[in-house]
Amino acid sequence: MDMPQVRLQSQQAKISLHTTDAKLSIQQPEAEQIIRQPDAEITMRTTPSKLTIDQTQAWNDMDLKSVMKRIDDFAELGKKSYLEGIARTVQEGKELMQIEKGGDPIVAQAKRIAERNLKDFAIGWVPSNFSVKIDYQPSELDINVKVNAPEIRNTPRQPEYQYQRGQVDVGIAQYQSLKVDFENLKFYGVNGFEMNI
């Protein structure tokens, strides 16, 4: 006996998706930098040193005097001798005025006069120590430095962007379908009518 059958065959719909990725590129140009260093300014001022040597005293000690110095010495010696002579004459006059008080003033005065002509002898240095006068003034150095700051100039650069948008394409890869099939299905009509469906 044949059983009636109904056969269904279906097919689902399929969607197709095609994706294009987004693209982003970033480029950073280098910044421009200029550095300039001005030279430092240096000024120097020097006062020269000064050396003074005075050997006048050494020349005088060696009796190599100038004319003016010799004249001054003679004048001083004459004045001193004149005053000593006046003092000696006054003293001798007083001694003679008081001869009645005893003693022998004439003999004493003669003896002093004889001793006056004797010269003293002593060892000395010619010229004398430290007779040459030395004076030294050292030089002075004045240094002035002016420091100049560096000059820096920066030019920044903005980053460069390039962007390409992504895209999604949607389509139908397969359409849905339904297929119906009948097997051993019969229709019985009135009056014994029979028909295969």
pLDDT score recorded for residue 37: 93
Establish if 191 belongs to a structural domain: yes
pTM greater than 0.85: no
Establish if 177 belongs to a structural domain: yes
Q: CA 187: distance to chain centroid?
A: 118
Write the secondary structure of the chain as one string of H (helix), E (strand) and C (coil): CCCCEEEEEEECCEEEEEEECCEEEEECCCCEEEEECCCCEEEEEEECCEEEEECHHHHHHCCCCCHHHHHHHHHHHHHHHHHHHHHHHHHHHHHHHCHHHCCCHHHHHHHHHHHHCCCCCCCCCCCCCCCCEEEEECCEEEEEEECCCCEEEEECCCCEEEEECCEEEEEEEECCEEEEEEECCEEEEHHHEEEEC
Establish if 163 belongs to a structural domain: yes
Taking the CA atoms of 94, 100, 106 and 107 in sequence, report the sign of the dihedral they define.
negative
Domain range holding 172? Answer: 1-32+157-197
Establish if 15 belongs to a structural domain: yes
Domain count, the chain: 1
Establish if 21 belongs to a structural domain: yes
Establish if 53 belongs to a structural domain: no
Whole-angstrom distance, CA of residue 182 vs CA of residue 9: 11
Whole-angstrom distance, CA of residue 157 vs CA of residue 28: 7
Establish if 167 belongs to a structural domain: yes
Taking the CA atoms of 129, 134, 135 and 141 in sequence, report the sign of the dihedral they define.
negative
Per-residue confidence of the chain (197 residues) as pLDDT tens digits? 567 777 888 899 999 989 999 999 999 999 999 999 999 999 999 999 999 999 888 888 888 888 888 898 889 999 998 898 899 888 888 888 888 777 788 888 888 877 766 666 656 677 788 888 999 999 999 999 999 999 999 999 999 999 999 899 999 988 899 898 877 777 676 665 666 66
Establish if 79 belongs to a structural domain: no
